[in-house]
Amino acid sequence: MIKVLYHGSCSKSKAILEHLDENNVAFEIIDFIEQPLSPMEIRTLLKKLNAGVQELIRKNDKLYKEKFAAKQHSDEEWINVLSENPSLIQRPILIKGPIAMIGRPVENVRFFIDK
């Protein structure tokens, strides 16, 4: 089963759920805004994504531009910022066992669900 880190007001998140539904893929929704990820969960997610913390940050987000763009943070500090401000995390994110991907564009999800 695929876990989808989801934000209810995000059109990309909604599109991913529709795509999974249309393709009869079983999934579990995790609303990471309502249930923010802990720093440990973010570290685990980064390993599954095979990505650095910078790739997880939504740098076009208003909150990022207003509060964080001009600041220098270590990776560990960024992990804590993301845990405390989950809206700054890229979305949607699909997790399948030991691997994960940022679900954009939706066309790339087809290769992920077939793995």
Question: In this structure, are residues 78 and 69 in contact, taking their beta carbons and an 8 Å threshold?
Answer: no
Q: Would you name the residues annotated as active-site residues?
A: 10
Kindly state the tokens that stand for 69. Answer: 């763009």
CA–CA gap between residue 112 and residue 103 (Å, rounded): 9
CA–CA gap between residue 49 and residue 98 (Å, rounded): 9
